[in-house]
Each structure stands twice: as structure tokens, then as C-alpha cells.
Amino acid sequence: PGLRLVSIEPAPPNVALLRRNLARAGAAGRVAVVESALGEAAGRAKLAYYPRMPGNSTLHPRAKWEQRVAFQPARRRAMFRSRRYDVRVETLSEVLRAHGGGAPVELLKLDVEGSEGGALRGVADEDWRRIRQVVVEVHGGAARGEVEALLRRRFGRVRYTADEELRRCGLDHGILTAAGGTPPCGESLLQTT
């Protein structure tokens, strides 16, 4: 009952579908939908929207193209055909302040297709203390290393789990989880083993 969800999505077709699905499920009043990308600083950016794989839409299409090895050559052209949208970019701290007040963030889940580092650098120092757990989808060694190092500075426990199926396709892709950070307002965090 007291749960508050904030969904941040920059691609206009995805936002329309999200709003329609929330309305059909009777959940529109419980989820704040923010039509924006996340970044280190506020502004505007060009989003590559892939109609055949909309969850892969990105501000970094060149990096996404490097993942083409996951598709058969005959399908690549169709899968990577994109439309461009000029989208708003906000920092995560701006979104937290606009939609969360000063409340703790029990779980921050990021799947931002190449913008992980920028999204996390967009969290102000004072807002990190509110975030209790993070789950981040990451792509590639250098990007993963940057995100992992950032999370290690903020959290006591950080773990990477590789996606073995994508690894067999030649892709370095997986999930970083982090917990045990600086407790908000001096509270202690519950830890489970």
C-alpha cells in the first residue's frame, strides 16, 4: 500500500505503451511515469529507438551496434533499424527530488542501455545515502568497470553476475547488484544472509 514506483523512460512509443498498460492494470495512480533519459547532467539528447527491439533503445547507438554479434547476419539490418527522438535528459537526483521527496529508495533498478555511468554520476552525494539497494544491467568491460567502481565507493556489497547465454554469443553483459551503503539519516540497514 505505501509503495511508490517511479518509472523513467525516454522513448515516446515506450512511454505510450507503459501508460496504456498501467491504465489497463488499474495501476496508473500508483506509478509516476517520467518521460526522460537519465544522465550526468540535465539537457537534451538524441535517442536511437529500435522498433523491433524497443527495450534496447539508447543514447549510445555505436556501442549498441557492437552487440550485433548476438543476431544472425540476415536479421541485423532489420533489428538495428532505428528512429531518432530528441529527448529530455534529467539527473537521477532531479527525479528523486521531484517524485520521492526525502523518502528512502529501497531499490534502484537501472537498465539504461549504455548510460549507466552517466546515470549514476547524476546522483548527488546527499542522495546516495537514501538509496539502499541497486541493480544495474551493464554491457562491456570498461563500462562495467566504471559502474562497479562507482558502486564499490558507495556500498559494502557489490556483486557481478554474467549473462552466460550472451557470453556464448561473444558479449560481455550482466547484472551488478549493490547493497549495504551509507544508511539514510543514521538508521541501520537490515541485512540478510
Tell me the CA distances in angstroms from 89 to 49, 67, 113, 144, one per residue in order: 15, 24, 14, 22
pTM of the model: 0.85
- Percent over 70 (pLDDT), the chain: 89
pLDDT one-digit tens code per residue, 124-169:
999 999 999 999 999 877 788 999 999 999 999 999 998 887 777 7
Lowest mean pLDDT among 93-107, 114-128, 129-143, 164-178: 164-178
Smallest Cα–Cα separation from 158: which of 171, 147, 142? Answer: 147
Give the per-residue pLDDT at 181.
65
